[in-house]
Amino acid sequence: MILMLLGAPGAGKGTQAVKLAEILKIPHISTGDIFRANIKNRTELGQLAASYINNGLLVPDEVTVAIVEDRLSQPDCVDGAILDGFPRTIPQAEKLDAFLESIGKKLDVVVNIVVDDQAVIERISQRRVCPNCKATYHLGHRPPKNGVNCDACGHEVVLRDDDTPEVIAKRLKEYHSSTEPLVDYYKEKGNLIESIGVDGIQESLDNTIRALIMRNA
Ligand code: AMP
């Protein structure tokens, strides 16, 4: 099954994707994580990606599409994958459809995680991530046990470079202009379902699983 998680920055796509990948036993593909790994390793792609990401802009379609096509061609994706943060534009969605068709697959379901802008701003400003193992925390609802270090690996948790108020505002603008049109794109194709993204991870995940079950019922 190829499942895609759609939603504003901070909607909880990444957190839900990790859990869904465990449940469905298929890989989690996050374009944001791929870019961040390249930035950390100082690759050429990382340098290019950082110049967009740190300004709240989308990385160009041709770069992003090539990365995902390559990733989806790996043997571990034979039974499917969870796409988190891709596609983010209509051209990316069209390229993905064409690529999947060329390998005899299709995007089975798109889960739109619905959250309002105010919740996004609050959530992202409180978000802290572990740069080592990628665990995510919320200083209010789910802080690291000692307030500073990752519960899983002990590394100090940090604010992402693109989670500052100025960059969040730009990312939200990009979301509404470039990514939100995908809601209608997938509605027309008939493979969109909606899940309300609330603050609790378990409750949000339950909403998604319920929506997936109802679709297949
Ligand atoms: P995320 O971790 O999904 O919030 O992604 C972080 C940043 O990476 C985004 O704000 C974009 O700058 C960039 N990015 C991630 N996925 C894409 C994509 N599909 N297309 C273009 N840029 C992306």
Give the residue-averaged pLDDT of 29-49.
96
The answer to whether residue 6 sits within a structural domain is yes
Nearest CA to ligand 1 atom 6: 32
The answer to whether residue 145 sits within a structural domain is no
The answer to whether residue 184 sits within a structural domain is yes
**For 118-176, how does the pLDDT look when each residue is reduced to its tens digit (9 = 90+)?**
999 999 999 999 999 988 999 998 899 999 999 999 999 999 999 999 999 999 999 99
Which spans in 74-180 are helix H? 90-102, 117-126, 165-174
Task: Name the pLDDT band for 200 (thresholds 50, 70, 90).
Answer: confident
The answer to whether residue 154 sits within a structural domain is no
Task: Name the pLDDT band for 71 (thresholds 50, 70, 90).
Answer: very high
Distance, CA of 3 to CA of 53 (rounded, Å) = 24
The answer to whether residue 141 sits within a structural domain is no
The answer to whether residue 189 sits within a structural domain is yes
**Residue positions annotated with a catalytic role:** 13, 88, 127, 160, 171
Total domains in the fold of the chain: 1
**Residues 115 and 109 sit within 8 Å (Cβ to Cβ):** no
The answer to whether residue 129 sits within a structural domain is no
* Strand partners for 149: 156
**Whole-model pTM?**
0.93
Distance 140 CA to ligand 1 centre (A): 25
Q: Which residues line ligand 1 (CB under 6 A)?
A: 9, 31-32, 35, 52-53, 57-59, 64, 85-88, 92, 162, 171
Q: Chain centroid to CA 91: how far?
A: 18
What's 9's domain CATH number? 3.40.50.300
Nearest CA to ligand 1 atom 2: 32
> What domain range includes position 198?
2-116+166-216
Q: What is the DSSP string of 18-80?
A: HHHHHHHT--EEEHHHHHHHHHHTT-HHHHHHHHHHTTT-PPPHHHHHHHHHHHHTSGGGTT-
Distance 217 CA to ligand 1 centre (A): 33
76 is written with which tokens?
């571990």
Distance 59 CA to ligand 1 centre (A): 7
The answer to whether residue 172 sits within a structural domain is yes
| Dihedral over alpha carbons 144, 150, 154, 158 (to 10 degrees) | -110
| Dihedral over alpha carbons 118, 35, 147, 9 (to 10 degrees) | 10
Give the residue-averaged pLDDT of 28-43.
96
**For 46-60, how does the pLDDT look when each residue is reduced to its tens digit (9 = 90+)?**
999 999 999 999 999
